[in-house]
């Protein structure tokens, strides 16, 4: 214990040099801890958001990753659109016939079950239509099933809840086909609440605004998913916006709808040949049927199916993982540089301490004792620097925890740690031992007679 006391007094005696060296090491450790924390937050955010209750996303042929990014995370741009009849393939004959009666189209569509219907029995298929924006946020046209059937949370059992108002309806007497539900972040950023109206812009945040306005009927409670950054509108209202109808060729068979609501404004839903969907969120009744359905969809000429979890794992392994690993290597090099600073600081002080060491030796201290004091001094700098760096990193993360939760949905606290953080302390102590060896060897070789006579 008295060796530690001597080392601490040496630390305090050269307080300015010791503190500056410790701060250098603390900043290196803080950088490493923050990089590990960012890695953990990014991994959790992507992994959690890739699991929102459905197991497949179906869209046009093209990049499966792009399909996942624009349908699950509302990033990237949609590839193309699918005909509405592709969405109808997930329903049985009665449901298809009802769609024909509500929207108008070829009655033959309702005379058979959909091709994919047997594989999603007990599950669901929810259409998404993308292409508009509210400010910087994506506008998503969908059906009430989105809020009734999708689940989120760690166990995928939590339903969507409204902070204000209610969920979408297909048609309401109050607002017709033009209802909207805002994600929590959209409502806060755009300063909108229930009862407010807005116009979306076509194709781009800076694009041309549509004339017809949607009325906000609900605001989602925070979910920690990309849905917090989305604006959901009634699919029928989305279709009725300018330039959203698919042009007809004149060869289609269209029987007018017989069950469409009697809208006071005269608005009528688009017929089935005029409808398109950007993607379809699919949950199969039996999980094992997901693979069968994915293969069958991918064998078709028109559409493809992607498993979001698998695509995000590929993205993490191929791009994000190596980038974070490179960043981690850079920060570890920073720690090594800081350790070299410890070595230089202690070694430079050896000339001033040779007489003190000679006195210790003359009073009976062994060479090993003097060497131990120098090594302990190096360990003290490393330990204090590592602890200070760890607390600095976690205090910084805690200070920005609200912003992190808003942007990623990941809740972090001051004591939230990653699995790899605890390897930092032994690593820093090893670096400290290496940094202390050279000064300790110099102390070991100090000549008592020469330095006492000097």
Residues 256-306 have pLDDT tens digits of 888 888 888 788 889 999 999 999 999 988 878 888 899 999 998 889 999
* Domain interval for residue 161: 52-306
Domain count, the chain: 2
| Higher pLDDT, residue 51 or 313 | 313
Q: Are residues 30 and 104 in the same domain?
A: no
Q: Are residues 290 and 327 in the same domain?
A: no
Q: Are residues 101 and 176 in the same domain?
A: yes
Residue finishing a domain among 286, 306, 326: 306
Tell me the pTM: 0.75
- On the question of pLDDT at 1 being above 70, the answer is no
Quick: pLDDT tens for 407-452. Answer: 665 666 666 666 677 787 888 888 878 877 877 777 777 776 666 6
Quick: pLDDT tens for 143-152. Answer: 999 999 888 7
**CA distance linking residue 307 with residue 117, whole number of Å:** 18
Q: Are residues 75 and 94 in the same domain?
A: yes
Q: Are residues 217 and 278 in the same domain?
A: yes
Q: The tokens of 308 are what?
A: 């979001």
Query: Are the CB atoms for 310 and 40 separated by under 8 Å?
Result: no
Number of CB atoms found within 10 A of residue 44's CB:
17
**CA distance linking residue 338 with residue 9, whole number of Å:** 22
To the nearest whole percent, how much of the chain has pLDDT over 90? 25
Residue 170's nearest CA partner among 63, 267, 248 is 267
Q: Are residues 180 and 108 in the same domain?
A: yes
453 pLDDT band (50/70/90 cuts)?
A: low
Quick: pLDDT tens for 70-90. Answer: 888 887 777 788 999 999 999
**CA distance linking residue 19 with residue 381, whole number of Å:** 8
Q: Are residues 300 and 362 in the same domain?
A: no
Q: Are residues 38 and 56 in the same domain?
A: no
- On the question of pLDDT at 454 being above 60, the answer is no
Q: Are residues 154 and 249 in the same domain?
A: yes
To the nearest whole percent, how much of the chain has pLDDT over 70? 91
Query: Are the CB atoms for 451 and 358 separated by under 8 Å?
Result: yes
Quick: pLDDT tens for 327-368. Answer: 778 777 877 777 777 777 777 776 667 777 777 777 777 777
Q: Are residues 333 and 282 in the same domain?
A: no
Mean pLDDT, the chain, rounded, equals 83
Residue finishing a domain among 273, 306, 339: 306
Residue 418, phi-psi category: left (phi > 0), alpha (psi -120 to 50), beta (remainder): beta
216 bridge partner residues: 180
Query: What are residue 356's phi and psi, to 5 degrees?
Result: -60, -40
197 pLDDT band (50/70/90 cuts)?
A: very high
User: Within 363-423, where are the H helices?
Assistant: 367-399, 401-408
379 pLDDT band (50/70/90 cuts)?
A: confident
Give the three-state DSSP class for 201: strand
Q: Are residues 284 and 332 in the same domain?
A: no
- Cβ contacts of residue 188 below 8 Å, gap of 6+? none
Residue finishing a domain among 238, 272, 306: 306
Identify the helix (H) or strand (E) that includes residue 214.
strand 214-220
Q: Are residues 260 and 300 in the same domain?
A: yes
Any idea which of 81-90, 235-244, 396-405 has the lowest mean pLDDT? 396-405
């Amino acid at each position: 214990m008295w060796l530690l006391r001597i080392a601490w007094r040496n630390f305090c005696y050269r307080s300015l040099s010791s503190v500056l060296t410790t701060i250098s090491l603390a900043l290196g450790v803080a950088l490493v801890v923050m990089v590990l924390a960012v890695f953990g937050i990014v991994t959790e955010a992507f992994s959690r958001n890739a699991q929102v209750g459905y197991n497949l996303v179906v869209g046009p042929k093209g990049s499966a990753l792009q399909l996942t990014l624009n349908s699950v995370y509302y990033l990237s741009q949609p590839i193309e659109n699918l005909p509405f009849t592709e969405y109808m393939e997930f329903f049985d004959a009665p449901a298809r016939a009802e769609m024909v009666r509500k929207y108008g189209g070829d009655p033959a569509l309702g005379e058979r079950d959909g091709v994919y219907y047997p594989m999603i029995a007990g599950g669901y298929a929810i259409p998404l239509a993308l292409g508009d924006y509210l400010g910087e946020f994506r506008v998503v046209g969908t059906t009430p099933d989105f809020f009734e059937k999708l689940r989120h949370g760690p166990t995928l059992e939590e339903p969507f809840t409204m902070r204000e108002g209610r969920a979408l309806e297909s048609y309401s007497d109050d607002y017709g086909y033009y209802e909207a539900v805002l994600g929590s972040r959209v409502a806060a950023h755009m300063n909108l609440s229930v009862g407010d109206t807005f116009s979306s812009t076509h194709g781009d945040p800076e694009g041309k605004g549509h004339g017809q306005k949607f009325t906000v009927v609900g605001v989602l409670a925070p979910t920690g998913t990309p849905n917090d950054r989305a604006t959901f509108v009634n699919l029928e209202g989305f279709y009725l916006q300018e330039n959203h109808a698919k042009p007809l060729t004149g060869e289609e068979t269209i029987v007018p709808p017989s069950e469409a609501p009697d809208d006071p404004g005269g608005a009528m839903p688009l017929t089935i040949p005029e409808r398109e969907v950007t993607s379809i969120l699919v949950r199969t009744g039996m999980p094992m049927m997901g693979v069968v359905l994915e293969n069958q969809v991918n064998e078709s000429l028109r559409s493809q199916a992607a498993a979001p979890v698998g695509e995000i794992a590929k993205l993490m392994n191929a791009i994000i993982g190596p980038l974070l690993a490179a960043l981690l290597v850079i920060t570890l090099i920073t720690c090594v540089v800081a350790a070299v600073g410890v070595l230089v600081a202690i070694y430079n002080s050896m000339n001033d301490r040779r007489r003190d060491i000679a006195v210790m030796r003359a009073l009976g201290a062994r060479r090993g004792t003097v060497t131990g004091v120098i090594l302990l001094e190096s360990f003290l700098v490393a330990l204090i620097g590592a602890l200070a760096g760890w607390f600095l990193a976690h205090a910084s993360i805690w200070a920005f925890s609200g912003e992190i939760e808003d942007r990623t949905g990941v809740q972090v606290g001051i004591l939230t740690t990653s699995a790899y953080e605890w390897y930092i302390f032994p690593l820093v102590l090893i670096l400290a031992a290496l940094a202390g060896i050279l000064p300790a060897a110099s102390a070991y070789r100090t000549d008592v007679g020469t330095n006492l006579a000097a």
